[in-house]
Amino acid sequence: MKIRHPPATTTSPEHYRFWGEAAIQLETSVQLPGGLPLYSHPVPAGFPSPADDHIEDHPDLERLLVRHPAATFFLRARSEALHGDGILSGDIVVVDRSLKARHDTLIVAAFQGEMLLRRLYWKDGHTALLSSHPGFSAIQIPRIASLEIWGVVTGILRVL
Amino acid sequence: MYALVDCNSFYCSCEQLFRPDLKGRPVIVLSNNDGCIISRNTEAKALGIPMGAPWFRVQELAGRHNVAVFSSNYELYGDLSRRVMSVLSSLAPETEIYSIDEAFLELDGFRDPWNHAKRIRNRVRQWTGIPVSVGIGATRTLAKAASFLAKRDPGTEGVLVLGSREAISRALQQMEVGNIWGVGRRWAAHLQALGIHTAEDLRRATPSWIGRRFGVILERTCRELDGVPCLPRALHSSNRHQIIVSRSFGKRVTDPAPLREAVVTHTARAAEKLRQEGLVALVLQVFIQTGDPSQHGVTAVPLPYPTSDTRLLARAAVTGLDRLYHPERCYRKAGVILLELRAPGPVQGDLLEENAIRTDGDRAERLMAAMDRINHTLGRGTVTLASQGTLQSSQNWKMRRDRCSPHFTTRWSDLREVR
């Protein structure tokens, strides 16, 4: 059994290295004959980290993107209809059903059996689904009842 | 005041949420292995497709009427259920989850319960896309009756409050006694022979007389119908007595290898549930079934000490299975039951050191925790025991879900596409 404790107050790089070895020795070599480890952890005894009092959780993506977990769904964009708004085919679209859609919001709409990603035009008694790509024309909605607003787009996710 | 919130045709509603093209079409959902019908939307009910009917018997009718047919997608239903329950818990001081699609809410202190019920209905519909009915009454039994009637009477718009004596009497007169919560078919026949035909008849019966003839359970129902709460809040108690995991096979199994894989897989799932509850088990039961009840086998295997270690439980399960197995039989179902559950306590050491895994002490616990964490974050089945078999070998016994929709809400690869 070989245990050498590092001096507690020295901080040169060399001593760090030495300390590391000692820790490994503690972990691996201190065993009772029956196989039970005497120590299972290295015991550091140096300066406490000056950052200890300032530790924060990492920025939580879920919390940033999902304000209402019960009402938030992820869908997959499969068209370039909102290309001009920066939503590309393949993007993951974050949709919050708890929000009320207003004029000029990006929405997912259920219309004539399809789920569409569009900008809602809803003003002066006129309703339409707009696109921001020249290849798509606006869809006029004659009766508001024939349109179901599935949810409001609150974000996109893109893994490169 | 209690409210029962009940999702309308829940499984069908889940499927339709992601399929607006199915609007107006009849939809049905089949049980495990596509056996029989377990959910129908309004359009399917109107076709006269009966609940519980075997799929092969309605297949022809379904084809003729362009019925959309789904295998049960419990990943999807479970996720949407969780969402519904979470919305409900934000709208009432107390919620009791009663089943995957029903919850009781305590609404004491709400001045206008009808108004609040409307709010609940609208909120759940908007946030989760699932339509619900709300029944309100002074007891759980009355709330359940109210929701039953609300679903069947379109005039109520899905909300019914049984408040005044007159309203209760009027409503219960329209309800057959067999449709009351907790009254089974046998009791219903018995009651009708005694001249008790409607729920109102039962409400007016003398509870003690009912108790003498039918026992305390129906006596309670009788009192509850009369507005006296007497059901304990025990439905959801976390003090579980047992954990069961069983599945029918996708096809008949005679070989021992797939049988063993299935039993070990069910054991792994049961062990995971056990750890989730923070419990350990002392006894494991294995059962296997053929089509013939006389050939059903069940055996109990005691564990060396109370444990939630998948490896120990799996070993016990295989021991039990080997006892039950007959090479000439065709099995259709297998399962495991964990019994004698308790909180982990100090354990007496094993004098003979027979159980090598045991001597790891808390290493086993850490290993199981790590396994659970990995399977939770990366998806069930990421880390398994080798004896659970492979994705390919499990095709020899896994249940059939030929018509399953994608797991829209639980897998990145399955997200609903929008154009």
Domains assigned to chain A: 13-54 (no CATH), 61-157 (2.10.109.10)
Q: Which of A92-106, A112-126, B178-192 has the lowest mean pLDDT?
A: B178-192
**Torsion angles phi and psi, residue B387, rounded to 5:** -70, -5
Among candidate residues B132, B135, B137, the one with its CA nearest the CA of residue B121? B132
Longest alpha-carbon distance in chain B: 73
Checking if the pLDDT of B322 tops 60, the result is yes
Q: Cβ–Cβ of A76/B129 closer than 8 Å?
A: no
Q: Can you state the angle between helices B140-152 and B165-173, rounded to 10 degrees?
A: 60
Helix boundaries (H) for B129-255: 140-152, 165-173, 185-193, 199-204, 207-214, 216-225
Q: Do A116 and B419 touch (CB under 8 A)?
A: yes
DSSP 8-state secondary structure symbol assigned to residue B186: H
Average pLDDT over residues A28-38: 46
Sorted by where each starts, the structural domains of chain B and their CATH numbers stand as 9-76 (3.40.1170.60), 77-225 (3.30.70.270), 243-346+354-396 (3.30.1490.100)
Q: What is the ipTM of this complex?
A: 0.77
The more confident residue out of B172 and A14 is B172
A109-128 residues touching B, CB cutoff 8 A: 110-111, 113-117
| Chain A residues with CB-CB distance to B84 below 8 A | 70
Task: State the pLDDT at residue A29.
Answer: 38
pLDDT tens digits for B47-93?
999 999 999 999 999 999 999 999 999 889 999 999 999 999 999 98
Contacts of B82 in chain A (CB under 8 A): 70
For B282, list phi and psi in degrees, rounded to 5.
-110, -20
Q: What percent of chain A has pLDDT over 70?
A: 72
Is A74 touching B (CB cutoff 8 A)?
yes
CB pairs under 8 A between A and B: 68
CA dihedral sign of residues A82, A88, A89, A93: negative
- Nearest CB among B21, B128, B415 relative to A71 is that of B128
Q: What sign for the dihedral angle of Cα B385, B386, B391, B393?
A: negative
Helices B256-276 and B362-378, axial angle in degrees (round to 10) = 100
- Phi, psi (rounded to 5 degrees) for A143: -120, 125
Residue of B nearest to A115 (CA): B418
- Other CB atoms within a 10 A radius of the CB of residue B231 amount to 18
- At residue B100, φ and ψ (nearest 5 deg) are -60, -25
